[in-house]
């Protein structure tokens, strides 16, 4: 059994989260074709995303996918069953959701107050979450982590999830805006993928991962082939250099769904990638 771990936003989905749009906004069914190729080959598609479980459940149902890793690996859903990867923070009737437990700790308020004018909640996607607190702005993650650690929140980490377009008037002066996830230190896309592989009894070397971020690039340690879609370099200019230093990692020529289709077809064909500088 093989699995293809696919990121959604910026990868399988085109601009503005549209499945049927290409990088230039033109109509495209490449993402759908990639899913079809996997289905015909008996490959399980697993969505791996920072999206909340409720939202990702709807996406998975629409795409005909039975397994997904949500909130950056904090929860893995396989055949309708939830499996949590959040360390000592687990949802319960007494303590509430992990999101509520993190909020009660004061960590989100600490960050928002300390980085006033540079950090805010990522409206409207910060709502309906069960684990991670979704923020946006422009901060030094290392400084933020030191702040968390010094106030007794070392069990949490702030993850930079890349550049986003949405911002409020309060952040208009910032040169760019990033999305940040405040989440349990043990939670990650890698942890979520490892948990799925253990539940399914998969050989990591027989799996594929496709994404557009550094968090997706980290999956290279748990799959035989990891591919970054072409638009990843536009989002993060340094990611191509990072990818070139890792074995089994390649840059696709296509962006978004076209890059996913390219990755899936080459992986299914023979697992070999051309020794061409254009491929990272």
Tokens 């978004």 found at: 256
Q: How many CB atoms sit inside 10 A of residue 12's CB?
A: 29
2-85+188-279: CATH, from 2.40.10.120, 3.50.50.60, 3.40.50.1000, 3.90.330.10: 3.40.50.1000
Q: At 4, phi and psi to the nearest 5?
A: -115, 115
Per-residue DSSP letter, 210: E
Cα separation, 131 vs 73, whole angstroms: 10
- Assign 274 a pLDDT band (cuts: 50, 70, 90): low
Report the pLDDT averaged over residues 95-107: 95
The confidence score (pLDDT) of residue 271 equals 58
What's the pLDDT tens digit per position in 238-251?
A: 898 999 889 999 99
Q: How many CB atoms sit inside 10 A of residue 110's CB?
A: 18
- Assign 277 a pLDDT band (cuts: 50, 70, 90): very low
- Assign 26 a pLDDT band (cuts: 50, 70, 90): very high
What's the pLDDT tens digit per position in 40-92?
A: 999 999 999 999 999 999 999 999 999 999 999 999 999 999 998 888 888 88
Report the pLDDT averaged over residues 189-196: 96
In this predicted structure, the answer to whether residue 273 has a pLDDT above a threshold of 70 is no
Q: Which residues contact 220 (CB under 8 A, 6 or more apart)?
A: 209, 226, 246, 247, 248, 249
Whether 223 and 207 have beta carbons less than 8 Å apart is answered as yes
pTM reported for the whole predicted model? 0.90
Q: What residues does each domain of the chain span?
A: 2-85+188-279, 98-184
Cα separation, 193 vs 208, whole angstroms: 11
């Amino acid at each position: 059994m093989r699995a293809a771990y696919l990121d959604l936003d910026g990868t399988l989905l085109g601009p503005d989260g549209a499945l049927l749009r290409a990088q230039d906004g033109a109509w495209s069914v490449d993402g759908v074709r990639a899913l079809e190729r996997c289905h015909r080959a008996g490959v399980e598609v697993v969505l791996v995303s920072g999206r909340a479980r409720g939202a990702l459940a709807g996406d998975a149902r629409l795409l005909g996918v039975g397994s997904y890793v949500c909130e950056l690996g904090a929860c893995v859903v396989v055949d309708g069953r939830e499996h949590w990867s959040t360390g000592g923070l687990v949802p319960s009737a007494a303590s509430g959701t992990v999101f509520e437990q993190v909020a009660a700790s004061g960590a989100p308020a600490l960050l928002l107050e300390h980085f006033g004018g540079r950090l805010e909640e990522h409206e409207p996607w910060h709502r309906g979450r069960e684990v991670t607190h979704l923020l946006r702005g422009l901060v030094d993650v290392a400084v933020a982590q030191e702040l968390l650690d010094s106030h007794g929140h070392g069990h949490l980490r702030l993850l930079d999830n890349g550049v986003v377009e949405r911002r409020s008037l309060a952040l208009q002066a910032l040169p760019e805006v990033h999305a940040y996830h405040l989440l349990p230190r043990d939670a990650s896309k890698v942890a979520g993928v490892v948990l799925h592989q253990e539940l399914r009894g998969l050989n990591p070397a027989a799996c594929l991962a496709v994404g557009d971020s550094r968090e997706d690039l980290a999956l290279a340690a748990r799959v035989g082939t990891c591919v970054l879609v072409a638009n990843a370099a536009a989002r993060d200019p340094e990611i191509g250099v990072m990818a070139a230093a890792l074995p089994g990692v390649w840059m696709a020529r296509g962006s978004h769904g076209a890059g996913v289709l390219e990755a899936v077809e080459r992986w299914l064909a023979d697992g070999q990638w051309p020794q061409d500088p254009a491929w990272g």
